Structure 1
Amino acid sequence: MTNGAAPAGRVRIVVADDHTVMRAGVIALLADEPGIEIVGEAEDGRAAVGLVERLEPDVVLMDLRMPVLDGTGATEQIVAARTRTRVLILTTYDTDAEIERAVEAGAVGYLLKDATREQLVDAVHSASRGETVLAPRVAARLVARMRQPAPVTLTRREVEVLGAVADGLSNVETGRRLVITEATVKTHLLRIFAKLDVGDRTHAVVRALELGLLKRHA
């Protein structure tokens, strides 16, 4: 390992992992790769942040669950410092919560530790260019999440307005019940129609009942 500049074209990386054997294994996988130079290693997130400040590597291979400062916290600090260093998560965890936290922290990629040497090398080079790198399993989870429709929610006032509509009240009568103007009632209804993807009062009530947003009258 060296603190000096890497030969032209090489990606300088720091490996951060609290498990000594795992850290040594990753380093061994990449040590002989001509396009990569290992410039440092860290056993916790705080040490990783310190190495980035001192060495300014191109990429940090960051484990998530580490003592002192975890990988997400370290990633946030590295990104906040606006260094040129890219963070590539390398972990065994692929839960939605872990993935979301890492992405929100600013990591450019999320790789799992069952990756092959070739996948790891390609990911390091891609991350150094600022490209998004995702393990296939992680990418599949994210796509599945994106395809799930967002839950529909109504505000308390919107529920009150729609409840009055369900009771058969006109806009004017709804306004009187809720002590708001007729114009305000209409505004609430337009927002409700948009949220429920419907075009009229009747369908809004039916859809809200289907979604459990309105309670059925006994």
Structure 2
Amino acid sequence: MPTTSVLWGESSTPTTSRLLAAWSAPSARVAPVFLQVQLPALGAHVHSVTALVADAHTLLRENQELRAQYELVSAHNAGLVAHASVLHDRNLAILHRAREGYRAGMIRLEQALLSRERVERDYADLEGRVADFRARADRTEAAETLLHVERDSSAEQYRDLQAQLQAVQDQAADYAAQLARAAAAPPPSSTPLTRLFAAQGERDDLRLNVIGGGSWWPPLSSNVMTLSPSVTA
């Protein structure tokens, strides 16, 4: 698995994969090359041409190995450059996404703070309403208690008024009965009061004469004889 895939969880391009594979392979690791030929000093005496030709072939082979290593190192460096470019681009993309995420997070945080302020204001408003409702409930309960007391008092007053009304009705019935009896009674005598008093005086005088032993009996007045039974009773 490529290194970038492990780090970022994304698949790399084929070229980058090949370069990373070549760079990660053990054969791509460049080992230092030590020269196996001792070059004679300039102007020194050459003892054997055959040995010199063998050394030339050895140098040629070492030169080819060095060239192959150079090409491998160049490819490795190119892979590293490409990988660095890819990492740089990805880092820029990650930085861009991080900035966007930071902005979005700050916007959400600001919205959350505003929502919290609104919630706190709504909560304070609700607390005020609850306090108002509780005060109203207390006033309503007090009014209900007063209403019960007044209703009980009104019931007592109603019973008292009913008793008074019944007494007045009974008294009115009594008066009506008295009026009925008075209407059914005979009419009173039409004798004047003076004649009534005169007759009463004559009767008193007669009684005094009888008590004193006198023999004079005056004649009865016709006025006394004409008294009505209701007056003499």
TM-score normalized by the length of structure 2: 0.20
Larger strand proportion of the pair:
1
Structure whose residues are more often helix by fraction: 2
